[in-house]
């Protein structure tokens, strides 16, 4: 029996009741959520997960698979004492969130998809992911994927928020080549999950940067249209890394999702700092 990966959990925002679980994008880790979590209303408990091979989480012998990553998240959280949660996934984290809702539907009370999609990769995109995975492994460096930084941040951020670039680049370079290659292979093999959008009975928040070049905003609009109970939030002046580019706008959308799942809880106003 293969060992289970050890996933690190980080309590980013204190609160009670049903938590919001945050799943990060490729190729970052849970630190990417920090500013967004700070902007959440008082009382919303928020737990960020380092996915397999990123941050403080091990791969633990796990085969490259978004489904197995979702199982690892589920096992880690239930062992931590979380019975159900609102799960918000950003980009790659969105793929894991959809898999979690598909494989463990009783656990996911509300679903947030940030700059993500339900479609599987087409053959060209999947082949490129596998090529990059091989290059990362052969070079034992994440340099082959560093060009992504010019795609994930939008023109507004590159013009007006350039102070964010060094931090994002440092977080990327802090990841291990083994984790980066694992994730590329896992994403290349993931199935289509549009049926999850159609069948999920809880509320869904689709949150998307208006300037996203990697996943067009039209994809977000189509996802929201397929869901039974969805709210679409398009974030102006943000791209594929919207929670980093405009954390306040993304926090407001996640707070609305939380209120839709837990309507009887009225969080008090945030205290001035």
Provide, rounded to the nearest whole percent, the portion of the chain with pLDDT above 90. Answer: 90
Least confident piece of the model among 1-15, 35-49, 106-120, 193-207: 1-15
| Separation between Cα atoms, residue 33 and residue 30, nearest integer Å | 6
What single DSSP character describes residue 147? G
What separation in angstroms does the CA of 184 have from each of 23, 131, 132, 165, 179? Answer: 16, 9, 7, 23, 9
**Candidates 3.40.50.1820, 1.10.1060.10, 3.40.190.290, 3.40.50.170; CATH matching 9-120+191-261:** 3.40.50.1820
Reported pTM: 0.94
Omega before 151 cis (within 30°)?
A: no
pLDDT tens column, 88-134: 999 999 999 999 999 999 999 999 999 999 999 999 999 999 999 99
Domain spans in the chain, listed from the N-terminal domain onward: 9-120+191-261
The answer to whether 44 touches 258, Cβ cutoff 8 Å, is: yes
pLDDT over 60 (residue 3): no
Sorted by sequence, the CB contacts under 8 Å of residue 43 that are 6+ apart come out as 15, 16, 265, 267, 268
**Res 222: pLDDT:** 97
> What distance lies between CA 69 and its chain's CA centroid?
12
Mean pLDDT of 73-81: 96
Q: Across the chain, what does the average pLDDT equal?
A: 94
Q: What share of the chain is helix, strand, coil (3-state, %, to 5)?
A: 45, 15, 35
Q: How many CA atoms lie within 13 A of 246 on its CB side?
A: 26
Diameter of the chain by CA atoms?
A: 53
Task: List the structure tokens of 87.
Answer: 């799960």
**Res 267: pLDDT:** 43
Mean pLDDT of 222-239: 96
């Amino acid at each position: 029996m293969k060992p289970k990966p050890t996933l690190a959990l980080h309590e980013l925002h204190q609160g009670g009741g049903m938590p919001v679980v945050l799943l990060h994008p490729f190729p970052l880790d849970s630190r990417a959520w920090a500013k967004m979590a700070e902007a959440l209303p008082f009382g919303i408990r928020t737990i960020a997960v380092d996915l397999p091979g990123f941050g403080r989480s091990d791969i633990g012998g796990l085969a490259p698979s978004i489904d197995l990553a979702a199982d690892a998240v589920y096992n880690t959280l239930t062992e931590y004492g979380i019975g159900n949660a609102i799960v918000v996934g950003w980009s790659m984290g969105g793929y894991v969130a959809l898999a979690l809702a598909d494989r463990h539907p009783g656990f996911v009370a509300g679903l947030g998809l940030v700059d993500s999609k339900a479609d599987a990769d087409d053959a060209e995109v999947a082949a490129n992911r596998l090529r990059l995975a091989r290059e990362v492994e052969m070079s034992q460096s994440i340099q082959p994927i560093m060009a992504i930084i010019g795609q994930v941040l939008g023109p507004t951020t590159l013009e007006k928020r350039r102070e964010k670039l060094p931090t994002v680049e440092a977080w990327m370079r802090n990841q291990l080549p083994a984790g980066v290659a694992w994730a590329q292979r896992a994403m290349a093999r993931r199935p289509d999950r549009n049926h999850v959008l159609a069948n999920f009975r809880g509320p869904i928040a689709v949150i998307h940067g208006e300037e996203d070049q990697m996943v067009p905003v039209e994809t977000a609009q189509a996802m929201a249209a397929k869901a039974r109970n969805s709210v679409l939030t398009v974030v102006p002046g943000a791209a594929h890394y919207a929670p980093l580019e405009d954390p306040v706008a993304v926090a407001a959308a996640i707070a609305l999702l939380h209120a839709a799942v837990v309507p009887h809880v009225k969080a008090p106003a945030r205290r001035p700092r």
